[in-house]
């Protein structure tokens, strides 16, 4: 039987799809990239993005229409499992055979093989121990490999559905992670990115995240190690010291701010203040000069006043992030914010604030990128050819800046020294240094 997997959402969902491929491969299912040719279609869902449920429901109906009367098993897996279970229990029909949550992927071969039922089958219970540490994901090649070192989250930020969709934090044993990294190096992967909903809260017995990073960075054959995403509330300085000392640990941190107003941060349950965040940034930059910082920001959280929005703008201008992902607040069912705080900022106002922040960030990014013209960057080549030209290649610098490589031949997986000769707010352009 042929299986097609369609993945939505974050890197953790991409990694979960690789876990699912491995489980189905061991059960003799064949992967296909064509949903029309598949006997089984799995939609790996994300519950974080705006309008995510509506998008998935529409896609379910599209896939059913694609096959017409031809028999096909259709399953929904991932973060949206609990929400869709409620959707079906409220008697709104969906042509789904089964729904499987993030901790129940081991049941998939059995569910696929089971006879068709009139009612959808649910496997959505959350686990206190499942990490899939014994499953080696079936990856689809490339330079970078995602690797989940922990699952779940204990933070319960008021806007976030992850603790409800993925359960509580549990960490993999360090030896299983290092073993997987060694195998990845043997297969030719040049970079690993360690994943966790709050990755710096990783802990297994006596090993914290700094110790794990140190172990992973010693694996021969791996040129670069990245991680995402940490939380500002528990970013210890000894983790920064390890990053400073280990050359294979990329000098880039994605450090979500979310808001610049202390009142809004408190409503979000972020457990730090704006001065706390700024102090952390100062300490990080003192220990690793030139480190690249990126962030996440939410505009239009319930009750956010104009002055509180301006506080976020001021923090952005003070920190001068290298890049920022700016989101308009959207209510997530089941979260504390959805239960307690009316979504009272208009769509037009959220859009205005988003545009304003993006304009400021683009100006900062252009200034910082332009300052790199004439400098040398170490670039890991990730792709031969770009959307604009087959003669160009692209990769990322140590600081996670996208670099378009012009002139000469580049080999995917090669680490090359590049001299930057042009820049935009989002891209550096360069050639191999002579």
Query: Domains of the chain: which residue ranges?
Result: 2-123, 144-370, 376-432
Among 241, 181, 246, smallest CA distance to 216 is for 181
For domain 144-370, the CATH class is: alpha beta
List Cβ neighbours of 134 (8 Å cut-off, separation of 6 or more): 176
Could you report the per-residue pLDDT of 205-244, keeping only the tens digit for each? 999 999 999 999 999 999 999 999 999 998 999 999 999 9
The CATH number of the domain covering residues in 2-123: 3.40.50.12160
Q: What is the pLDDT of residue 52?
A: 72
Token output for 59: 């896609």
What is the spatial distance between Cα 249 and Cα 214, in angstroms, rounded to a whole number?
9
Could you report the per-residue pLDDT of 345-357, keeping only the tens digit for each? 999 999 999 999 9
3-state secondary structure of 237: helix
Per CATH, domain 376-432 is 2.40.50:
yes
**Residue found by looking up tokens 């009316």 in the block:** 342
> Mean pLDDT, to the nearest integer, of 154-158?
95
What integer best gives the mean pLDDT of the chain? 93
Q: How many helices (H) and strands (E) does the chain have?
A: 13, 21
Q: What is the pLDDT of residue 82?
A: 74
């Amino acid at each position: 039987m042929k299986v097609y997997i369609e993945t939505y959402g974050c890197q953790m969902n991409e990694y979960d799809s690789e876990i699912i491929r491995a489980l189905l491969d061991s059960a003799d299912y064949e992967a296909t990239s064509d949903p029309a040719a598949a006997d089984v279609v799995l939609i790996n869902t994300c519950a974080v993005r705006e309008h995510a449920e509506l998008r998935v429901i529409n896609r379910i109906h599209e896939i059913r229409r694609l096959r017409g009367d031809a028999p096909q098993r259709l399953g929904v897996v991932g973060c949206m499992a609990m929400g869709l279970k409620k959707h079906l229990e409220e008697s709104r029909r969906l042509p789904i055979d089964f729904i499987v949550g993030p901790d129940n992927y081991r049941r998939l071969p059995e569910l696929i093989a089971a006879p068709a039922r009139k009612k959808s089958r649910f496997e959505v219970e959350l686990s206190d121990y499942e990490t899939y540490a014994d499953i080696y994901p079936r990856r689809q090649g490339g330079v970078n490999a995602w690797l989940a070192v922990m699952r779940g989250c204990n933070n319960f930020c008021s806007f976030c559905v992850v603790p409800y969709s993925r359960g509580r934090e549990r960490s993999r044993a360090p030896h299983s992670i290092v073993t997987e990294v060694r195998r990845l190096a043997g297969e030719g992967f040049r970079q690993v990115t360690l994943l966790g909903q709050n990755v710096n809260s990783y802990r297994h017995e006596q090993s914290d995240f700094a110790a794990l990073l140190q172990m992973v960075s010693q694996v021969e054959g791996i040129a670069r190690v990245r991680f995402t995403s940490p939380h500002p509330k528990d970013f210890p300085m000894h983790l920064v010291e390890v990053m400073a000392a280990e050359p294979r640990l990329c000098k880039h941190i994605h450090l979500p701010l979310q808001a610049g107003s202390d009142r809004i941060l408190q409503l979000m349950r972020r457990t730090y203040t704006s001065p706390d965040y700024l102090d952390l940034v100062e300490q990080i930059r003192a220990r690793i000069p030139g480190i690249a910082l990126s962030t996440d920001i939410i505009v239009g959280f319930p009750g956010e006043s104009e002055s509180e929005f301006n506080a976020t703008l001021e923090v952005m201008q003070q920190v001068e992030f290298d890049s920022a992902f700016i989101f308009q607040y959207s209510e997530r069912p089941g979260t504390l914010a959805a239960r307690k705080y009316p979504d009272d900022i208009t769509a037009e106002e959220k859009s205005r604030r988003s545009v304003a922040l993006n304009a400021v960030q683009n100006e900062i990014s252009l200034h910082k990128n332009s300052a790199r013209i004439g400098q040398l960057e170490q670039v890991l080549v990730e792709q031969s050819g770009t959307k604009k030209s087959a003669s160009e290649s692209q990769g990322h610098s140590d600081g996670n800046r996208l670099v378009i490589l012009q002139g000469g031949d580049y080999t995917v997986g090669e680490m090359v020294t590049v001299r930057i000769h042009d820049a935009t707010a989002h891209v550096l352009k360069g050639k191999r240094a002579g």
